[in-house]
Amino acid sequence: MLYVFAFAFVFLFLQVQSEDSVLLFVIAWTVTEIIRYSFYTFSLLNHLPYLIKWARYTLFIVLYPMGVSGELLTIYAALPFVRQAGLYSISLPNKYNFSFDYYAFLILIMISYIPIFPQLYYHMIHQRRKILSHTEEHKKLNSSCSSTPPETNFPMTKNAADFFSVPNAFPRK
């Protein structure tokens, strides 16, 4: 959610574009998305290398705080410009008798990360423990069985067409 605000400020205010925090969150986002979509692609092909799985459930330990820090610092750097320009703010009087202060809204969003970030971060740590410990147990189990050839760890297909075939979700009548 916060990345929408951070990314918007980079394009709205030239002064914010030169902040180091922009580089921080762009690098974190880029590496995260490369890992995420590699994970999805290999999962769809039923051939997920352990390195990709490990990266997906481990590198967030550094990338997640790095990205959130970059986002928060970018928004913080943009706050004076938001206040000065009155960006997205609605003041009274108006025909709807409604006011909205985007500057205050951004501060509330930033403060909300105090309780939200630890919950999200520890959820990811729990997911990492669950997924990677299951993988480690599976590897130990397979290595202890010398009669099972290593090729049987992957789905067996008759030919390449079977491997890349997609079930027809909309059969013709």
64 belongs to the catalytic site? yes
Instruction: Render the burial of 78-106: b for 16+ CB within 10 Å, e for the rest.
Output: bbebbeeeebeeeeeeeeeeeeebbbeeb
Helix or strand or coil: residue 73? Answer: helix
| C-alpha span between 9 and 103 (Å, rounded) | 12
Q: Which of 64, 88, 102, 113 is catalytic?
A: 64
Out of 19, 57, 71, 103, the active site residue is: 71
Annotation says 71 is catalytic: yes
Give the span between the Cα atoms of 6 and 69, in whole angstroms.
11
CB atoms within 10 A of CB 27: 14
Residues with a known catalytic role: 64, 71
